[in-house]
């Protein structure tokens, strides 16, 4: 299993996409925290984070801090720019003032629906890193890519490109980036990759991290799988040596289901 024999604490991350306003977010986070408390969730063994829409972030941050919850949170996107005439955008500096630990960058919905290029993703990663926010860098191939190039070529190329502009002030720390392998054909389709498919690409992504950032950083970096993850299939992914967690879309909006995914250690045989 990924977390056994490695320093990597698994991360279960819920991408809410454009769901739940700030009032719904407060109720949701409270209930999720109670569910995990009832289940005696050990946050030292599995980190759990939610990624609400921008308008919820202040409420979620305040709740987590006031109630001393162990849940973490992140934004779903960030601007590549520092400030200025970029109507509708949110800078990494603004996210930092909310003590936002994480930001998803390069989600396939941003790449396809908003034509985000590899260069733009790289600039966003650079901005997050500059402001000390951990980018959750999403990479993944479409069904067409899979047929044309096989499973790893596009995710590996996207990861190389995404890291090409970031300037780590010191040697990148062990948890300064998270990579999420999300085959586009598996997102929201109900057709998850097999654990073996996820492992094959995750291993290639880790080899790429070793080449770019060195083996210490590569060994410590969490690589998540995303695409139709549910409580019924999480255990299979978490048994894979290079899969260190999941980026969960649809199932992250169902509290018992998401809590059960976060509790994967209870249903994964070691």
Span near ligand PEP by CB under 6 A; candidates 18-26, 113-121, 168-176, 224-232: 224-232
Q: Where are the alpha helices (DSSP H) in the chain?
A: 22-38, 57-66, 92-97, 108-113, 118-130, 143-149, 153-162, 195-213, 215-220, 234-238, 255-262
CA–CA distance, 199 with 240 (Å, rounded to integer):
6
Least distance CB 85 / ligand PEP (angstroms): 30
**Choice among 41, 107, 141, 199 that is catalytic:** 107
CB of 230 vs ligand PEP, minimal distance in Å = 8
Q: Which two tokens stand for residue 251?
A: 């199932």
Q: State which of residues 248, 255, 259, 261 lies at the interface with ligand PEP (CB under 6 A).
A: 248
CA distance 64 to 59: 9
Contact stretch for ligand PEP (CB under 6 A) within 32-40, 67-75, 146-154, 226-234: 226-234
Which is nearer to ligand PEP, 163 or 251 (by Cβ)? 251
If we measure between CA atoms, which residue out of 225, 232, 229, 233 comes closest to residue 205?
225
- 188 counts as binding ligand PEP under rule CB under 6 A: yes
The distance of Cα 231 from the centroid of its chain, to the nearest Å, equals 17
Residue 182 is among the residues annotated as catalytic for this protein: yes
Stretch that binds ligand PEP, among 147-155, 180-188, 199-207, 235-243 (CB under 6 A): 180-188
- Angstrom CA distances, 115 to 19, 111, 140, 161, stand at 22, 5, 15, 16
Q: Does 15 bind ligand PEP (CB under 6 A)?
A: yes
Q: Which residues pair with 13 in a beta bridge?
A: 49, 247
Catalytic (active site) residue 22: no
By beta-carbon distance, which residue lies closest to ligand PEP?
249
**C-alpha–C-alpha distance, residues 223 and 179, integer Å:** 5
Which position among 152, 228, 260, 263 is part of the footprint of ligand PEP (CB under 6 A)?
228
Phi–psi pair at 14, nearest 5 degrees = -105, 115
Of 43-62, binders to ligand PEP (CB under 6 A) are none
Q: Which stretch binds ligand PEP (CB under 6 A): 3-11, 86-94, 152-160, 227-235?
A: 227-235
Work out whether 202 is an interface residue with ligand PEP (CB under 6 A).
no
Quick one: which of 56, 141, 182, 199 contacts ligand PEP (CB under 6 A)? 182
How many angstroms separate the CA atoms of 163 and 141, rounded?
18
Give min distance, CB of 182 to ligand PEP, in A: 5
Q: Select 172 or 249, whichever has its Cβ closest to ligand PEP.
A: 249
The candidate with the shortest Cα–Cα distance to 138, out of 115, 159, 122, 119, is 159
Regarding 195 and contact with ligand PEP (CB under 6 A), the answer is no
By CB under 6 A, name the binding residues for ligand PEP.
15, 182, 187-188, 226-229, 247-251
Which residues belong to the active site?
Answer: 107, 182
């Amino acid at each position: 299993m990924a977390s056994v024999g490695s320093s990597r604490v698994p991360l279960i991350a819920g991408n809410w996409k454009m769901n739940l306003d700030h009032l719904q977010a407060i109720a949701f986070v409270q209930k999720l925290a109670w569910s995990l408390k009832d289940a005696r969730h050990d946050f030292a063994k599995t980190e759990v984070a939610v990624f609400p829409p921008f308008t919820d972030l202040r409420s979620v941050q305040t709740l987590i801090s006031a109630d001393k919850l162990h849940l973490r949170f992140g934004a779903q996107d960030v601007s590549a720019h520092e400030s200025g005439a970029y109507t509708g955008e949110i800078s990494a500096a603004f996210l930092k003032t909310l003590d936002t630990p994480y930001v998803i960058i390069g989600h396939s919905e941003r790449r396809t629906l908003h034509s985000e290029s590899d260069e733009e993703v790289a600039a966003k990663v650079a901005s997050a890193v500059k402001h000390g926010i951990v980018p959750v860098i999403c990479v993944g191939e479409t069904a067409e890519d899979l047929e044309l190039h096989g499973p790893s070529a596009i995710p590996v190329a996207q990861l190389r490109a995404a890291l090409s502009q970031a300037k780590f002030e010191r040697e990148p720390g062990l948890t300064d980036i998270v990579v999420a392998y999300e085959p586009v054909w598996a997102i929201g389709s109900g057709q998850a990759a097999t654990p073996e498919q996820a492992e094959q690409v995750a291993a290639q992504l880790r080899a790429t991290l070793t080449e770019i950032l060195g083996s210490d950083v590569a060994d410590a970096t969490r690589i998540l799988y995303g695409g139709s993850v549910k409580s019924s299939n999480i255990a299979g992914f978490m048994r894979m040596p290079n899969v260190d967690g999941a980026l969960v879309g649809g199932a992250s909006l169902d509290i018992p289901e998401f809590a059960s995914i976060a509790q994967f250690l209870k249903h994964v045989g070691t």
